[in-house]
Amino acid sequence: MQDARPCLTPLDPHTRLYSVATKQTSLSETTAISIEEHQSAVVSSMYAMQGTRPDLAYAVGLVSQCNHVPKPEHWIAVKRIFCSFVASRGYARKLQSSNTTRGYTDAEWVSGEDRKSLGGFVVLLNGGAISWTSKKQTSIGHSTTEAEYMGMTQAAKEIFWLRVLLDGIGAFKHLPPMSTLNGDNQGAIALAHNLEYHARTK
């Protein structure tokens, strides 16, 4: 794949992967996809994602759900991740001297076959990502607000843990305490600001 055509994004934004093939692809449906080769490629991209590439978290999480029965469209999605490596070969994460810490969170409502939503967050320290994740939520959200609120909860727990860690190593002598979490759902933000109990809010 080192001479593959570069792709700027690790996943086609319109891609929906399922455990059973649901659409025609450029490969024949009878083409045998090696489970071992597919799993090896996914694990290799997962290694890069966990170490230095937060932009791969969503794509790697999506293709890893199909490791047990890879189909042609799954293999195409895995190869696209490696094409994005070619496009970003010279990229690097850079920490700046901005003395800012903040988190960003988002969720995709009902994105899988099991009706569960995907949530993710990234925490930045001085302009560089220090913690990130993209994972399927454990319970089913009945609205976008609920899915986004659950995603914000996971991000807030990570920020609290990072505050304890940074305080323990004395980082807050040079940095302001981590206190800002950014989301894009007005309903979830209003719910986070309103501490009152409502019958429809668990």
Residue 69 falls inside a structural domain: yes
The tally of domains found in the chain comes to 2
pLDDT at 137 over 50: yes
Answer yes or no: do 111 and 76 share one domain. no
pLDDT at 44 over 80: yes
Residue 84 falls inside a structural domain: yes
Residue 201 falls inside a structural domain: no
Answer yes or no: do 5 and 56 share one domain. yes
Burial of 24 (0-12, 13-18, 19+ CB in 10 A): exposed
d(CA 75, CA 56): 16
Answer yes or no: do 83 and 140 share one domain. no
Q: Percentage of the chain with pLDDT > 90? A: 3
Residue 200 falls inside a structural domain: no
pLDDT at 139 over 50: yes
* Segment 18-40, tens digit of pLDDT: 665 444 444 445 456 788 888 88
Answer yes or no: do 82 and 106 share one domain. no
Stretch among 19-23, 85-89, 158-162 having the lowest mean pLDDT: 19-23
What pLDDT sits at residue 199?
A: 64
Name which residue leads in pLDDT, 67 or 26: 67
Answer yes or no: do 67 and 121 share one domain. no
pLDDT at 126 over 70: yes
Residue 198 falls inside a structural domain: no
CATH number at residue 128: 3.10.20
Contact 159, 114 (CB under 8 A): no
Residue 202 falls inside a structural domain: no
pTM of structure: 0.69
Answer yes or no: do 155 and 183 share one domain. yes
What pLDDT sits at residue 119?
A: 86
Contact 66, 19 (CB under 8 A): yes
Answer yes or no: do 8 and 78 share one domain. yes
Give me 145's structure tokens.
């607000």
Answer yes or no: do 4 and 59 share one domain. yes
Q: Taking all residues of the chain, what is their mean pLDDT, rounded to a whole number? A: 80
Domain span at residue 28 reads: 1-92
Residue 13 falls inside a structural domain: yes
With H, G, I as helix, E, B as strand and everything else as coil, classify residue 108: strand
